[in-house]
Chain A
């Protein structure tokens, strides 16, 4: 069986697609166990195929690890004269198997499967079970399509598809207005980014005459396009706008915290482990373009670094457990972009995968806490849960230490790799921001752990008796993810620690060889520094929230202005809601104006005006006809009538009158005769 799994790689997205279709068509009639087995089972099958693909790829020589599996021609050849000189372009429905997509499908289907299993317990008491799993499976299909796509347009299908599923799942509890609103906000903000992505696709098509990654790479390898050429800079900027929308970077990050309205496993799967990393994946996938756009890379690095520190600062003061994690996700995504921006794509993808483990674990852990506390999400009302929720507590702590960068947990290796690359790249500003962020990350994660699990209980009594550890279907995924968070980084042990950095070497066919490290000694120093920074953050959190809990309040009072600013998330939501509320208001006002324009001007003046004009002219012609045309005719008649009245007076047709006239005439003649001849003479 040389490549039997690679040839059927399309099964990876199609297993969940099949069960999604089944759920949406007949899911209503199926029982819960059937739904659970079916939906988790298909994702597990996807995972198995992904494992098969991965090992088949490993067996191939490193230079030959690239396969395109075409299903059919999606958009057949259309004439298009590109800048690269091609005459036509077409789009295949084809999947690309290479080390990058192999890693991605493993992470997506693996973490996805665990979250599916977890959902069985978490959603056990909710209505719309089939709908939930249908959407979740649909999401898996879209996400796997996204990462397997061999061209930008097919990737865009997955891209829009995951956005749609995110919309549907955020708004899953659609009876709640805030949920429906959050869903809409996510969708519309994402669409703004998508518009950039779409324009990037068009520009790619007209520049290269192809949308396939392999095709673009081979044209670029031809050296026809120089580094920094305007077309490539424009393409990469447009694509990056798309990425900032999907991956919640400045300035389009605002939808992600609101997206926490959705069920917690959804937050774990979509808004932490997979979908939001799509932007990073896209940048990494098109790295050949980005390498030729130094300006864009600079932008990516800065946006990533600034987002990382900015979001971390907000995470430090949030009081909603899920929102802390949401800001943390934004911050960690910033790290990944930072990595891409300094050209360390492999490190970005490495962090993407380790982040998927520990952030999914954090969300699922927070879900278990929320579940246990009957829906309570405010960490000020938690505390002292360590003994009550032993498994959740321990796994949560593991994940927190992993994200804080404590060796040898997963986060340490990936984060350190990123910071080292930034430094080695000479991008000290970015490195500095990243290091400070690491300190803040360690601080807010431990703050979260301490406030949730340690100290005295601040829970309300009615929550107290409800308290219980999560069922097995929820704790088993927690334990497995904790395992991954511990060992997940070992695939990327850097050379300085005696490892082979096998992860990076595996991805070399996609990203090329990393530049040789300038100095191992320097790398080691920086590594120690970042560990110290992480420990420092933990120590501060320990002092602030366990040892002397009065300090945070004092600080907040002392720097009340700053605290208020950060606590209120820099008022960006207020500004945005002005834009996003008044933007639509403005749109509506314009729509209103246009609508009235239609009514008053086009219809009023144009249509009704011409109707009035027609009626007026017709009245005018009636008047003309009546008074002028008919008038002239009548005038003639009248004149004749006037002139002929004497004759008319005579010719009455009455014999008696004729006799009278005759008699009168005779009398007149008689009178004349008598006068003239008888009396006159």
Chain B
């Protein structure tokens, strides 16, 4: 058990990969076997992650369950994984949504079944790796690894304009990641250069020499010494990469296309997890490594977030396509998340991370809802529906609850996240909070209006008369998400407790005062002693 405990992150990370390898060995025409195996491995991935819930130490601010192995020693790259409260919640979100997404694909995916599931399991590895990696080199590898399967999932199993969407998604994200790579290299050389400049730096070996390293825990300490001009340049390199991923206005136009064209499970994962990689990046890297640049630009980025909230909500109003509407609602909801991040205080940051989880649950579920309708009617056009509450009463209830969760109804998850973000925002700027509240009102309007057009009234379209209500498998995908919505809404305390220490550390790092020059930092004693020896 101790062995398992020490290596648990490896298990969580690689069980899906093993699944992908096993699938490789199964002949492609045995579709049902492939489905069973893929679902079992996805479920196993969920099961091995569950002990984390019990073992996670809430009193610890730093990384836990860390595993470190040398990988490419000559450049200082290593295999290093670990989680803190921030990544812990996102890892749990990923394993749950990953399993649900794979389960939801059962009848939807009929062609190239084997390749599909392999792609999905590899995608799962990439996403988990991004949240767990404690080495920038490794992080970048996972960041790129996840891109490829998603590209194929959209491009092969997508809808009408899948190729356009896939290319757009790929190029947008790639542009961002190249900039981030430059940023990482900048940090890498800065860190090595610290040694040359004779200054103290976070990572030194026994002899007092700086180590060439990509270690994220080391880089997180760089915020204290990184000069402001460096911070500004590298901040923007990282920021554009993450802003594309979130996506923040005006980098958001890949999102509606990718969501609309992706198969249901792809949309669930895109909205539920992939977007969180951007916000995770902002919280994990941008804030602590570039504290001065962050504080300098935070007001502008907060305004950009508010624009996203209102802009996204207004664009929702005019959509004729259900999936596109929900995609744009993500832009609006993620606006709340980034707003929370750039408030740079404990309350807003906790709310922001909680809201990332909330958005993953409720928007993921909304995409499942659309997928369910698409499987029955092969259309996503709102005007094609109407009156579905009559033939599908259970579906109507589930859909109602999820809509309410998404619009921030009390007792459901979205409320807690939005309220904590807004209380945090209110401390910083009351006017911003006022504008953000408009987003909540608009969310009620567009989600209820959508619900009303799809579910209420008489069944006018004969094609909708005999629609089947949710079956057991579909219920298994939706009900856990609904229960999770209630859990966070009624008893969010455990989430706040998990986040408390890591967020406090993060806030402390952002608030650190920048010394004038890195050289001003006290020199390590060993450096002074060496000349006297010969």
Contact = CB atoms under 8 A, between A and B. Distances in A.
Interface of A: 24, 28, 72-76, 78-81, 153, 156-157, 159-161, 164, 167, 171, 174-175, 177, 180, 184, 187-188, 191-192, 194-195, 198-199, 201-203, 205-206, 584, 587-588, 590-592, 594-595, 598-599, 602-603, 606-607
Interface in B347-396: 347, 350, 387, 389-390, 393
B433 A191 contact: no
Interface string B430-442: 1001100110111
Contact of B448 (A184, A198, A592, A599): A184
A202 B250 contact: no
Contacts of A201: 419
Nearest to A614: B171
B441 A202 contact: no
Interface string B389-419: 1100100010000001000011100011001
Contacts of B430: 202-203
Given A177-B457, A184-B448, A202-B422, A595 B437 contact: no
Contacts of B404: 164
A31 B127 CA distance: 49
B422 A198 contact: yes
Contacts of A74: 490-493
A199 B433 contact: yes
Interface of B is mostly: helix
A177 B457 CA distance: 6
B445 A584 contact: yes
Interface in B419-473: 419-420, 422-423, 426-427, 430, 433-434, 437-438, 440-442, 444-445, 448-449, 452, 455-458
A570 B444 CA distance: 29
Contact of B314 (A194, A195, A199, A594): A594
B347 A78 contact: yes
A78 B492 CA distance: 13
Given A80-B423, A188-B441, 5 more contacts: A78-B420, A180-B452, A184-B449, A195-B440, A203-B426
Interface stretch (B143-151, B267-275, B287-295, B316-324): B316-324
A588 B313 CA distance: 10
B426 A591 contact: no
Interface in B314-354: 314-319, 345-347, 350
Nearest to A131: B393
B23 to A, nearest CB: 35
A24 B393 CA distance: 11
A621 B6 CA distance: 55
Of all A-B residue pairs in the complex, the 4 with the closest CB atoms, nearest first, are A157-B410, A591-B314, A591-B317, A591-B318
Given A24-B397, A73-B493, A595 B315 contact: yes
Residue with the greatest number of chain B CB neighbours at <10 A, chosen from A161, A198, A584, A590: A198
B64 interface: no
A160 B409 contact: yes
Nearest to A177: B457
B495 to A, nearest CB: 9
B452 A184 contact: yes
A607 B350 CA distance: 34
A129 to B, nearest CB: 13
Nearest to B311: A594
Contact of A188 (B253, B389, B422, B445): B445
B496 interface: yes
B168 interface: yes
A76 B423 contact: no
B493 A602 contact: no
Nearest to A598: B253
Contacts of A177: 457
B389 A174 contact: yes
